[in-house]
Structure 1
Amino acid sequence: MSIAFTFPGQGSQSVGMGKDLAEAFPEARAVFDEVDEALDQKLSEIMWNGPEDQLTLTANAQPALMAVSMAVMRVLEANGVRLAEKVAYVAGHSLGEYSALCAAGAFSLSDTARLLRTRGNAMQSAVAVGEGAMAAIIGLEHADVEAVCAEVLPVGICQIANDNGGGQLVISGSKAAVEKAAALASEKGAKRAIMLPVSAPFHSDLMAPAASAMQHALDLVTKNDPVVPLIANVRAAPVRDAGEIAQLLVTQVTGQVRWRETVEWFGANDVTTLYEIGSGKVLTGLARRIDKNVTGIAVNTPADIEAAVKTLLG
C-alpha cells in the first residue's frame, strides 16, 4: 500500500486561502513572498483580502493555487516529510500538474509561478470573450458524451475537457456547439447539463494558441526529472522524464484531463491514500466517488498539516 500527493486545480480558490499558513509558519510565508517577487505583484494581498473577481481571474488563480500547495509542501518538508521517502507518485488536476511538478523538484518555485502566469494569460487570450464555452454533463457515460460531441461538430469544436469521475464530464469548445451538445445530452438522458461560468473554453482545440505559448515558455525554463513519477493528466500513467513531461504539459492545454482514469490507476496500483495538498477538498471528494478503496485526505490548514505529519512520520 502506498501514498500519492495530489494537487487541486482552478475552482478551488477562495479569498483568504493560505493566510493562516503564512501566519503560522515562516516556511509558508517565504513561499508567498517568493511568488510575489517572481510575478512582481502582491498576489498574496489578493489571495488573502480579495476582491474575489481579481482572485478568480485565470492569470491570478493559477499561480495563487500553486502557491498555497507549495506553502503546505514546504511546511511538511520542514517537519521532516520527504516526498521521495514517503510518497510514491504525484498528480495534479490541470494547473495542479504544475504544483505537483514543483513539489517533486521538476521546476523551481519562481519558474512555476511565472509558467502559470504565462499559462493563465495565454489561455485567457486564446479565444475572444463570448466565443467559447464549457458545460458539465452529469449522468452520461464517457462514450455517450463523446458521441454527443461528435454529433455537434458541424456546428463547431466540442470535446471532453475533464473526465472528473462519478458521472461528471466537462465539455469545452465553441459556444454554439457546447450549447447544442448540452441540450442534446439532456435529450439522451443526462441528469443535468449545466453551462459553466468560465471565461474561456479550457482543454479544447480552441486553446491551440495557448499551447504554442506554453511550448515556448517551457523551452526556456530549467527542467529536472521529478523525484517521484507524475501521473500525467493526458496519459493517466506515470512519467518521469523531464523532456517528456514538458511535452505532455503542452498537450494538456488542448487535451483532456483524465482524472477518473488517474484515480482508477492509483487504485489498480496499490495506492490507497491520496493526500490533497492545497486549497479546498475537491479532489478528495472526487476520489471517494471514483474508487471506494482509495481514501482522500485534504491538507490545507495548520491542523491538517499537524495530523498529516503525525500519520506520515508515525
Structure 2
Amino acid sequence: MGKIAFVFPGQGAQYVGMGKEICENYEMASEIFEQASEAVGYDMKKLCFEGPEEELKKTENTQPAILTTCIAMSKILENEGIKPDVSAGLSLGEYASLVIANMMDFKDSVALVKKRGKYMQEAVPLGVGTMAAILGMDKEVLEEVLDLSKEFGVVEAANFNSPGQIVISGEVKAVEKACEIAKEKGAKKAVILPVSAPFHCSMLIPAGEKLSGELDNVELREGNMPVLSNAQNKYYTLDDTKDFLVQQVSKSVLWVDNVEKMINDGVDTFVEIGPGKSLSGFIKKIAKKLGTKVNTYNVSDMKTLNDTIDVLKG
C-alpha cells in the first residue's frame, strides 16, 4: 500500500448538524468542541449542531466551526491507529493539517481562524467583491479571459480546484465581465457564487497583514509530518509557516498542484475529513487526468467514519 493523505475542506462545506453524531458517540470529539468553545468564547456545539444557518454562514463563525469538526473527526481516526503520511487542506483546511502535524495547538488555531475570517470579511466592503466558478475551461484560456477583463477592475484566479473547475475572484464588474468573456470563449458554465467577499485575490492583502500580527502571538513548531502549502505548493518548514499562512489569504489556492504533488510523492489513498465531500470529487478528476488510480474515502458522520475505519484497518 502507498501513502495515506488526510485532506480537509474549506469554507462552504459547512452545514447545520455537522459533527453532532460523532460527538454523541465519542467523548474525545466532544472534548475538542469544548476546547473550541473556550477558545472562541461561544458554544461551538450549539452553533454547529443547531445553527441557525445564518450564524454558521458568517465567515468568522464558519472557519472555526469547520476546523473544530475536522479536528474532532481526525482525532478519532488517529486513535484507531489510522495515521496519515502527509496532509493538505483547501484554504481554511490547511489549518487542520497544521494542527494534526503538531505545528500549531488546536486552541490557538481555532481562535486564529476566527480572527482570520473576521479580517477576510472586513477587507472588502459588502457588495464590492465577488467570486465565480468557471467550468470546462483550460487554465491557459482562462488567463486570456482574465487579461481581457482587467480593465473593468481587479479579477484574478482564486482556486484551481480540479481540471475544468477554476474559481475567480475580484471586483463585481470585472468578475461579471470575465464570466461573459469565458462563455464566449467556450466555458461550459460561468456562475457567480453566493459568497460575502472576494477570497484569495489581492483585494485581501490587508487581511493577510492583520493575520501576520496575530501569528506573532502564536507558538509555531516543526511538524511531525509533511504539510503542503496552497499558496506555494511546497511543504511547510517552521521558517516558512508564518509567510505561507499570510500569503494564503490573498494568493491562489493551488489545489490541483497540491494533489498532483502528493500523488507523485507516493500517495494513493486520500481520506477527506470534515463536512462535505467535494475534495474527493476533485481528487478523482486530478488523478484521472494524471492517468492514475487513487482510493478516496470521506469521513463526515458515523457511517462514513465506520466504513473508513473498516477499510483502512482491515
Q: TM-score range by the shorter chain?
A: over 0.9
Pairing partner for 2:214 from 203, 213, 217: 217
Give the corresponding residue for 1:279.
Answer: 275
Tell me if 1:31 matches 2:49. Answer: no
> Any idea what the Cα deviations from partners look like across 1:182-239, whole Å, max 9, x if unmatched?
1111111111100111000000100011010111111110001121111110122323
> Which residue of the partner structure matches residue 135 of structure 2?
138
Find 2:168's aligned residue among 155, 168, 171: 171
Question: If the length of structure 1 is used for normalisation, what is the TM-score?
Answer: 0.95
In 2, Cα distance between equivalents of 1:189 and 1:105: 45
Give the drift of 1:153: 1.6
- Is 1:162 aligned to 2:159, yes or no? yes
Q: Judge conservation of contact 2:275–2:300 (CA < 8 Å) in 1.
A: yes
- 1:258 maps to 254
> How many percent of aligned residue pairs carry the same amino acid?
38
Tell me, in whole angstroms, the C-alpha distance in 1 between the residues paired with 2:123 and 2:234: 28
Q: 2: CA distance between counterparts of 1:217 and 1:294?
A: 38
Q: Distance in 1 between matches of 2:53 and 2:238?
A: 35
Cα deviation for residue 148 of structure 1 reads: 1.2
Q: 1:40-65: CA deviations, max 9, x gaps? A: 11122121011111111111111111
The answer to whether 1:304 aligns with 2:304 is: yes
The CA deviation at 1:263 is 1.3
Quote the offset at 1:246 in angstroms.
1.9
**Equivalent position of 1:150 in the other structure:** 147
Report the CA distance between 1:77 and its aligned residue.
2.7
RMSD: 1.3
What is the CA–CA distance in structure 1 between the aligned matches of 2:135 and 2:310, rounded to whole Å? 38
CA distance in 2, matches of 1:102, 1:312: 22
C-alpha distance after superposition, 1:280-302 (max 9, x if no partner) = 11111111111132222101222
Secondary structure of the residue that 1:153 maps to in structure 2?
A: helix
Runs of 4+ in 1 over 4 A off after TM superposition: none
CA–CA separation in structure 1 for the residues paired with 2:207 and 2:221: 23
Q: Which of 179, 184, 189 lines up with 1:182 in the alignment?
A: 179
Partner of 1:53: 54
The one-character-per-residue Cα deviations of 1:234-268 (angstroms, maximum 9, x if unpaired) are: 122323x1230221111011100011111111222
Give distance in 1, aligned partners of 2:95 and 2:185: 36
Runs of 5+ consecutive residues of structure 2 not aligned to the other structure? none
Q: What is the distance in 1 between the residues matched to 2:142 and 2:130?
A: 16
C-alpha separation between the residues in 2 aligned to 1:57 and 1:95? Answer: 14
Structure 2 Cα separation of the partners of residues 264 and 227 of structure 1: 22
Q: What amino acid sits opposite 2:67 in the alignment?
A: M
Q: Which amino acid aligns with 1:283?
A: L
- Map 1:21-170 → 2, pairs under 5 A: 21-81=22-82, 83=83, 87-170=84-167
Q: What is the Cα deviation at residue 308 of structure 1?
A: 3.1
How far apart are 1:278 and its partner, in Å?
1.2
SS in 2 for 1:243: coil
Unpaired stretches in structure 1, ≥5 consecutive residues: none
Name the SS for the 1:298 alignment partner. Answer: strand
Listed one character per residue, the Cα deviations across residues 19-54 of structure 1 (whole Å, up to 9, x for unaligned) are 001100000000001101100111221210111111
TM value normalised by structure 2: 0.95
**Greater mean alpha carbon deviation, residues 180-189 or residues 300-309:** 300-309
Amino acid at match of 2:144: A
1:85-112 deviations in whole A, cap 9, x for unaligned? xx22100000000011111111111101
| Code of the aligned partner of 1:10 | Q
CA gap of 1:79–1:295, structure 2 versus 1, over 3 A, is closer
The amino acid across from 1:20 in the alignment is: E
SS at match of 1:286: helix
Tell me if 1:10 matches 2:11: yes
Contact 2:220 2:241 in 1 (8 A): no
The answer on whether the counterparts of 1:287 and 1:295 sit within 8 Å (CA) in structure 2 is: no
Which amino acid in the other structure matches residue 120 of structure 1? G
The 3-state SS of whatever aligns with 2:151 is coil
- Distance (Å, rounded) in 2 between the aligned partners of 1:37 and 1:312: 33
State how far apart, in whole Å, the 1-side matches of 2:295 and 2:258 are.
Answer: 14
